């Protein structure tokens, strides 16, 4: 019984801890400052996108360079439905999520059917990203192009203090983490790990690699689409630039890789650090882009594995060293 409890505890603890921290954070830190709240909400967004991306790339090695596009699918679907069809918020968000999930699933299906390598998957999804952005820009009658679309039905109160938005997105992130964890611990997660380690071996062992890839893509894309749709409602106004490649894909890629690809809390840690770095960079003004690029280079040169695996490995090594110093006592008779 003790072993089982320990397992459950280990499974839930990181998420519970994160939830607890997020719950008290406003009181402790920033409730008075709309600006800071806004920053934290932005970080939460990236974390949410990150969990979805982590599921797709970290778990099943599909380089989906279309996070922004999927978010855009979710956001614009919801916004257009609200605008043209006066669909209520729940419906809009649900539709956005579903459509994004479908698009992600299709992309994955195509990649699987054509046995695309990681790089070609990346290029195809990148092409999709850019093409979709152009589509949104071009179809002015539907999307208002680069002028932007006002999301009718958005809760204006959320936009004002952003605290409501904070709690909403904190809950979303925690929910995503729970889903991610549940998948990790289930047979699905086992399948993911085996196909990431050695695809051929997994295939031979009977793992339906294709199906699990698509499955991961659908769930991850749903997360991304949901986040994008929620953003549209919380902010009240979206343009193609909101979901642009350099606004979403690049930061998400960097923060997930930084935190640790495939780990549970990687996106959260990455988003936190990224939030601070981003804020620090804003004050640098002109040099921002250059420092940003330098940050990317340094991370991928140095932190190849990511923070969490590096920290875990370090901890393990320290633990081993300490243990070896403890003298081994001969077994005592009871």
Partner 1 sequence: MKAVILDGILLGLAFGLLGVGLTLVYGLGGVLNLAHGAFVVVAAMVTSHFISAGQPTALAAAIGVLAGAGAGVAVDLTLMQPVYRQRGEHRTLLGLLLTLGLAFVIEGLLNWRNPSGALYIDVSGNPVHILGVAESAGSLWASAIALATGAVLVAFLAGTTFGRAVRSVIQDETGARLIGISPARVRTVIFALSGGLAGLVAITRAMTAPVTINVGFDLTIFALIVAVVGGLGSVGGAFLAGILLGIVNTVSAYYIGQYITTIVLLGAAALTILIRPRGLLGR
Residues binding partner 1: number (CB under 8 A): 37
Helices (H), the chain: 2-25, 34-53, 59-60, 67-85, 89-113, 118-138, 140-143, 156-161, 163-185, 187-197, 199-204, 209-235, 250-259, 266-282, 288-302, 307-325
Please tell me whether residue 283 binds partner 1 under the rule CB under 8 A: no
Q: How do beta strands 149-150 and 237-238 pair?
A: antiparallel
Smallest gap from residue 251 Cβ to partner 1 (A): 12
Please tell me whether residue 209 binds partner 1 under the rule CB under 8 A: no
33, 241, 289, 317: which one contacts partner 1 (CB under 8 A)? 289
Please tell me whether residue 112 binds partner 1 under the rule CB under 8 A: no
44, 46, 63, 308: which one contacts partner 1 (CB under 8 A)? 63
28, 119, 204, 329: which one contacts partner 1 (CB under 8 A)? 119
In sign, the C-alpha dihedral spanning 235, 30, 280, 274 is negative
Residues 187-223 as b/e (b if ≥16 CB within 10 A, e otherwise) read: ebbebbebbeeeeeebeeeebebbebbbbbbbbbbbb
Applying CB under 8 A, the span of 12-20, 27-35, 45-53, 280-288 interacting with partner 1 comes to 280-288
DSSP 244: -
Smallest gap from residue 137 Cβ to partner 1 (A): 6
Q: In sequence order, what are the residues at sequence separation of 6 or more whose Cβ sits closer than 8 angstroms to the Cβ of residue 40?
A: 25, 30, 166, 275
Q: In sequence order, what are the residues at sequence separation of 6 or more whose Cβ sits closer than 8 angstroms to the Cβ of residue 273?
A: 255, 258, 259, 307
11, 31, 98, 110: which one contacts partner 1 (CB under 8 A)? 110
What residues from 3 to 42 belong to the interface with partner 1 (CB under 8 A)?
A: none
- Which residue lies nearer to partner 1 by CB, 6 or 287? 287
- Which residue lies nearer to partner 1 by CB, 124 or 170? 124
8, 85, 300, 317: which one contacts partner 1 (CB under 8 A)? 300
47, 55, 124, 217: which one contacts partner 1 (CB under 8 A)? 124
CA 162/CA 155 separation, integer angstroms: 11
CA 313/CA 304 separation, integer angstroms: 13
SS3 237: strand
Q: In sequence order, what are the residues at sequence separation of 6 or more whose Cβ sits closer than 8 angstroms to the Cβ of residue 182?
A: none
What residues from 223 to 252 belong to the interface with partner 1 (CB under 8 A)?
A: 246, 250
Binding mask 250-279 for partner 1 (x = CB under 8 A): x--x---x----------------------
Binding mask 129-168 for partner 1 (x = CB under 8 A): -xx--xx-xx------------------------------
Binding positions for partner 1, rule: CB under 8 A: 63, 110, 114, 116-120, 122-124, 127-128, 130-131, 134-135, 137-138, 246, 250, 253, 257, 286-297, 300-301
């Amino acid at each position: 019984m003790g072993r089982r409890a320990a397992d459950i505890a280990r499974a839930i603890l990181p998420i519970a801890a994160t939830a607890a921290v997020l719950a008290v954070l406003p009181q402790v830190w920033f409730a008075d400052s709309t600006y800071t709240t806004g920053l934290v909400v932005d970080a939460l967004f990236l974390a949410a996108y990150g969990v979805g991306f982590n599921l797709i790339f970290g778990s099943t090695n599909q380089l989906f360079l279309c996070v922004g596009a999927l978010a855009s699918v979710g956001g614009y679907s919801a916004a257009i439905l609200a605008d043209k069809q006066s669909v209520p918020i729940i419906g809009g968000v649900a539709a956005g999520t579903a459509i994004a999930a479908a698009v992600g699933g299709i992309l994955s299906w195509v990649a699987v059917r054509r046995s695309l390598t990681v790089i070609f998957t990346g290029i195809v999804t990148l092409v999709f990203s850019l093409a979709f952005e152009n589509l949104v820009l071009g179809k002015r009658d539907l999307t208002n192009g680069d002028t932007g679309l006002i999301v009718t039905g958005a809760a204006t109160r959320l936009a004002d203090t952003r605290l409501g938005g904070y709690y909403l997105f904190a809950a979303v992130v925690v929910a995503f983490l729970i889903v991610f964890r549940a998948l990790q611990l289930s047979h699905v997660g086992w399948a993911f790990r085996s196909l990431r380690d050695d695809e051929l071996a997994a295939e031979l062992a009977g793992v339906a690699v294709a199906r699990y890839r698509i499955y991961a893509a659908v769930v991850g894309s749903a997360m991304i689409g949901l986040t994008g749709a929620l953003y549209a409602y919380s902010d009240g106004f979206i343009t193609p630039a909101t979901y642009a490649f350099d606004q979403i894909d690049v930061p998400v890629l960097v923060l997930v890789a930084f935190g640790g690809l495939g780990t549970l809390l990687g996106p959260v840690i990455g988003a936190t650090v990224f939030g601070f770095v981003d804020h620090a960079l804003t004050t640098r003004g002109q040099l921002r882009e250059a420092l940003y690029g330098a940050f990317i280079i340094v991370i991928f040169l140095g932190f190849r594995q990511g923070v969490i695996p590096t920290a875990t490995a370090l901890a393990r090594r320290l633990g081993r060293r300490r243990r070896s110093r403890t003298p081994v006592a001969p077994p005592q008779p009871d």
